[in-house]
Structure 1
Amino acid sequence: MGEQPRTQSAGFERSLAGRPDVAFRDAYLARIGLTTADVSRSDLDDQEILERVTRAQLATIPFENLTIHNRCIVDVGPVAIEHKIIDGRRGGICYELNGLMARGLQSLGFDVLLIGAAVARDHGTFGPALGHMVAAVTSGDRHWLADNGFGGSSVLTPISAQQIHTPIDITTSTGRYRTDGTAYRLDEFSDIAHWQSTSPEARFTASIVCSITDDTHRITMSRGRSEPFTLTRTDLVSGRRHSRTITDDAVCAVLDDLFGISLEIPPVVARFR
């Protein structure tokens, strides 16, 4: 069956090194609008802590690929992720968002493994291996699959210990993927992150997307090549969607107001061919 899945002792902690745990924990919680009191283990069950953290991150840190269209390669290094999302108050794609969340949960005392996944395409096949990344979170004998980096949707579902190392099919409101049952170091996603940032075949290079989700709505601003920006608000209960066009002169104000992203000029869909 090939090599056994790697575990945390095989370098996972080293792959998330950066600020000391306490300093990073406080910076991470502040970025997602929480305090240590909000996630106190003496007051909350582990499931409640996870729900608070994942929900808070989803509502404050956008899923976005703007830097890719500014010809920047997604850097999966923990310090780079911290600098971009916490210090720079930006968002990112799955490797960045779930990489940050994994490190944040580690700083709160959870054990976390990064698990690879492949994203389902429209015609039923799957995209490249490691095309997505999720987190397997453990506390004692309880385990969860957590994902805050799949197009503005979120997953937090209890799993068994065996399921961590077994492929799992996950369907969300923004698509479907299959985990590969293998734990990886963060740096092992570097090559696919480079491909996602540069290849005309990657799903992130064809259009611009920026999305943020609270308890009731998902707000997404997107733009395809030769198209105007569209702002879509989706009601998470009813599924109703309302879309409107955003003119170029209003784009930066919308990014700042709704997503907390400060840009001087509107982003442009880059050409990767």
Structure 2
Amino acid sequence: MSSVEMHVETYLSRIGFAGPAEPSLEVLRSVHTRHLMSVPFENLTVHSGGRIQLDPPLLYDKIVNQRRGGFCCENNGLFCWLLAELGFQVTLLSGQVKGTTGRYGPPFDHLILMVSLDGHRWLCDVGFGTAGFRVPLSLETSGPQEQGHRVYRIRRDTGMCCLEWQREENKGPDGDWTDIYKFSLEPRRLEDFDEMCRYHQSSPCSLFFCKSLCTVLKPGGRLTYIGHKLSTTTFPSEEAGGVLETTTRDLEDEEIPGVLAEMFGVVLNSPLIPKDETITPPPVMY
């Protein structure tokens, strides 16, 4: 993906992965989960005076050296490079997220990965957020795939694949399925996402322009910052009584840098302007 050298061991140390890193399903699952639990899904560059560029060396410096996070094109773009360096056969794919407005985003709205390993294809995504899956999902089945307290499936529909899930309170054979995003299996290049990368930094139809956010997976839950709020989610478990619980507290402007540093490991070079505005529905139906 780039002629610039990647320091694989430094990257693996950044995500807390230790051990042999041969291209196996066990390693793929491990680095996927470790990435989600170490690298935040965040757009704080957009709200602190910077611009996001999809140049692999810049992504490496930001996420590995500066210990920041990023949105889908950044996290998955860099993760693709890591997987390729480890010897995996990996393909960039274009997805369209079904957002809070109820509409799908434009093509190249979301960058995801497909890994082919021993004749089996796996969907990988370390750049999504709250509805994301912890370990890769099989692309060889349309049946339910359970991951702890959540269930996912990949439904085929007129040449597209649709990632769906059952929310925690709606699991089971009779539960309803909710769309997360749709995607095709056509191979893409990182530069194909440049236009949408700019869109997400400037459009009132984009979550990333309308809200300053940072979220990271934790053992047994998730931490999420948006605007002036910090939410702590505890996933259902026997110890937690089998119920998804979320607590939220308000933040003052002066608290936010400390919360980001302490809770997410994120230290910004420029002052953050917190933002939490309503997203405008896209004018076009996709």
TM-score, length of structure 2 as denominator length: 0.78
Which residue number corresponds to residue 138 of structure 2?
158
1:160 is displaced (CA, Å) by 3.1
Q: For 1:74-121, what per-residue CA distance to the aligned partner results, in whole angstroms no more than 9, with x for missing partners? A: 211111111111112111000001111111111111110010011113
Query: 1:184-203 residue pairs with structure 2 within 5 A?
Result: 184-203=188-207
Distance 1:196 1:123 in 2: 15
1:249 is displaced (CA, Å) by 2.0
Which residue number corresponds to residue 272 of structure 2?
267
1:73 is displaced (CA, Å) by 2.6
Equivalent residue of 2:209, what SS?
coil
Distance 1:261 1:95 in 2: 18
Distance 2:110 2:90 in 1: 16
Point out where structure 2 has 5 or more consecutive residues left out of the alignment: 142-153, 168-177, 237-242, 278-286
8 Å Cα contact 2:253/2:274 also seen in 1: no
1:158 is displaced (CA, Å) by 1.0
> Percent same amino acid among aligned pairs?
28
Point out where structure 1 has 5 or more consecutive residues left out of the alignment: 1-15, 224-228
More helix per residue: 1 or 2? 1
1:62 is displaced (CA, Å) by 0.4
Equivalent residue of 2:9, what SS?
helix
Spell out structure 1 runs of 4+ moving beyond 4 A: 163-166, 172-175
Report the residue type matching 2:193 in the other structure.
F
Distance 2:232 2:40 in 1: 14
Alpha carbons of structure 1 residues 219 and 123: separation in structure 2 relative to 1, 3 Å: closer
Distance 1:78 1:18 in 2: 9
TM-score, length of structure 1 as denominator length: 0.81
8 Å Cα contact 1:98/1:135 also seen in 2: yes
Report the residue type matching 2:9 in the other structure.
D
Alpha carbons of structure 1 residues 79 and 18: separation in structure 2 relative to 1, 3 Å: farther
Equivalent residue of 1:204, what SS?
helix
- Does residue 139 of the first structure (1) align with residue 139 of the second (2)? no
- Does residue 239 of the first structure (1) align with residue 244 of the second (2)? yes
Equivalent residue of 2:197, what SS?
helix
Which residue number corresponds to residue 170 of structure 1?
163
Query: 1:3-152 residue pairs with structure 2 within 5 A?
Result: 16-20=1-5, 23-35=6-18, 37-40=19-22, 46-122=24-100, 124-152=102-130
After superposition, the CA RMSD in angstroms is 2.7
Count of residues paired in the alignment: 245
